[in-house]
Amino acid sequence: MFNRLKERWKVNSLNLVLIICTFALGGSACARVGKGIMSLTSLESGFIWWFIYIILISLLWPICVLLISIPLGQFVFFKNYIKRIGGKLFRKMNSTPTKIAIFASGKGSNAENIIRFSKQTGLFSVSVVVTNNPNGGIWDISKKYNLPCLLVTNEDWAKADSIEADLKNHKVEWIVLAGFLKKIPSALISAFSGKIINIHPALLPEFGGVGMFGNRVHQAVISSGKKESGITIHWVDEHYDNGDIIFAAKCDVLPNDTPETLETRVRSLEILHYPRVIAECIKKQTVR
């Protein structure tokens, strides 16, 4: 733990000890000063007393640690530390979740998992769903969560500027593909550069490309004799399943596997990892 703290804070062992002492002494001083101030009031110990006390020590803590850091030679560290913490709190209080569009062609199980994650965590917000399938299950899912669902025809797909305009109308900042079977136009990739993510139900670069989706992928993996399969989350470029890999997770391919049984294990990896990786990618770009 101490080695990780030294690396994170970029300090030597002596300074780390002094920093920890400053934290401890600052917290103790803050508590004593806070109780001293509260003793001057007529309030009795109870909910209101504790509520005011917590607010008070939250305000006193930066002052106490800065004062104690001076004789311990850690003033510069704590000045920068408090500035970083304050900046993060300010951004969090004044920021709105990044809006994403989910592109899906099939039943929409991945899409629903992403939508649920967004509502539970607030780390991003799904503002619109896009599909090229007028009969896909994604329609029922978008209705269930009261989300607009846009149908993109082949003619629409040939005019990427109109799709881009629709996405901008919904204030979309990122595009997430969840079982979307059409290749993303170059114009759309340019408009959302570095902000389009896809998931593939196998370990790329193998078993990707045109026509490799659904059980076709799982059958190809089984037929190849591979002992492992999994998922690959990657950036989207102008070629199928070709962008830089962001994250991969593996599962075993069993001797008696069928495409359906293998799909079940791969699906569990998708459900577990995809929403989290989306959130991490968005966060990394947001804090740059």
State how far the Cα of 161 lies from the Cα of 71, in Å rounded to an integer: 62
* Burial state string for 207-237 with b = 16 or more CB within 10 A and e = fewer than 16: bbeeebbeeebbbbbbeeeeeebbbbbbbbe
DSSP state of 196: E
Active-site annotation holds for 200: yes
Which residue in the block uniquely carries the two structure tokens 């002992």? 227
User: CB–CB of 158/130 below 8 Å?
Assistant: no
Strands 228-235 and 196-200: antiparallel
State how far the Cα of 25 lies from the Cα of 13, in Å rounded to an integer: 18
State how far the Cα of 220 lies from the Cα of 202, in Å rounded to an integer: 10
Q: Which of 170, 200, 234, 273 is catalytic?
A: 200
Q: Which two tokens stand for residue 229?
A: 């399969």
Active site residues: 200
